[in-house]
Amino acid sequence: MEIKTLRSKRKLTVADIFFRVFLWGYAFISLYPLIWMLFYSFKNNEEIFVSNPFGLPKVFRYENYINAWSQYDVPVYFLNSLLVATATVVITIVLSMMFAYATSRMRWRLKNFARTYVALGMFIPVQAVLIPVTRIVQDLGLTGSHWALIVPYTAFNLAFSTLVFYGFFVGLPIELEEASCIDGANIFQTFFYVIVPVVKPAIATLAIFTFLNSWNEFILANVLVMDQSLKTLPLGILFFQGQFTTDWGAMGATMVIASLPTVLVYTLFSNQVEKAITISGAVKG
């Protein structure tokens, strides 16, 4: 019996070692593009294309970041992306949370139809509605402002956000509203002071995903934004490449700058994603 036990422990240890090696290998493969892009941003053209395309930079050329930030309108693109992404997150969270609460906790006619209608937006690809969206933006007079991106981004993120909030609200005990009603709170007080604090993990999770989607979006920005002063970072990098085809190091620095906010946001708030995986996590929040 003791020999069998020792053998089973040995097999488990070997399996555990192989599993850890696999995970470390997968992590390295996943992180290598980011590491390569970071190295790329410190090199000159000769290192990038000829002598040292994959290794550490021979000399760390910090002037690539200085040139990217001071000469190629990167601050303008950065601020535009930050403004559009932040506004999209706030509007999307507020609208989707209120709509999901109305369809999950209230009784009114056609609420199931309304919820299904909004959820169908998840199955509509952006490419299929580019022309209608462009016409609507023009008819609303949003062309030439940040709202030309904020409104479509909000519309495309509402379906997923509403579906997630609906799942959280359905799992909440009805006693929360009952206790609030007994204490004399109206529907708005119940929503903002009782329900919203309970679903903080869901709010944080959807804020992360909405921010990442808005920050990295390219197709709508390429079609709807015509003014140079309103271009976002993904769109600015495209024109940067076309106009300054020789300064590849500065372009790599621009890509690192564009990637930093998304990496930082997800790193700082990734624990909220874990909390929001289950409904119980939302109730504990």
pLDDT tens per residue, range 141-184: 888 889 999 999 999 999 999 998 998 888 888 888 888 888 88
More confident call, 271 vs 228 = 228
pLDDT confidence tier of residue 272, bands split at 50, 70 and 90: low
Q: Could you tell me the residue range of the domain that residue 31 belongs to?
A: 2-40
Spatial CA neighbour of 161 closest among 199, 130, 191 = 199
The DSSP 8-state label assigned to residue 126 in this structure reads G
Does the pLDDT at position 6 exceed 80?
no
Cβ neighbors of 128 (< 8 A, separation 6 or more) are none
Q: Is residue 52 part of a domain?
A: no
Residue 57 lies in a domain: no
Residues 21 and 117 in one domain: no
pLDDT of 4 > 70? The answer is no
Residue at 272 is within a domain: yes
Alpha-helical (H) ranges within the chain are 2-40, 45-46, 63-71, 74-105, 111-119, 130-139, 147-170, 175-182, 187-190, 196-198, 200-216, 219-224, 233-243, 248-275, 279-284
pLDDT at 210: 92
- What is the structure's pLDDT at 62? 86
DSSP assignment letter at 173: -
Q: Are residues 35 and 75 in the same domain?
A: no
Q: Are residues 120 and 244 in the same domain?
A: yes
Residue 140 lies in a domain: yes
The radius of gyration of the chain from alpha carbons, rounded to an integer in Å, stands at 24
Flag whether pLDDT at 282 surpasses 60: no
Structure token digits, residue 43: 């090199």
If one compares 245 and 83, the residue with the highest pLDDT of the two is: 83
Query: Residue 245: what pLDDT?
Result: 57
Q: How far apart are CA 232 and CA 146, in angstroms?
A: 10
pLDDT-derived band of residue 279, with 50, 70 and 90 as boundaries? very low
Greater pLDDT, 15 or 114: 114
Report if residue 51 sits inside a domain: no
Asked whether residue 33 falls in the same domain as residue 133, the answer is no
Unique residue bearing structure tokens 């020789």: 246
Same domain, 14 and 141: no
150 neighbors 217 (Cβ within 8 angstroms)? no
Cβ within 8 Å of residue 8, ≥6 positions away: none
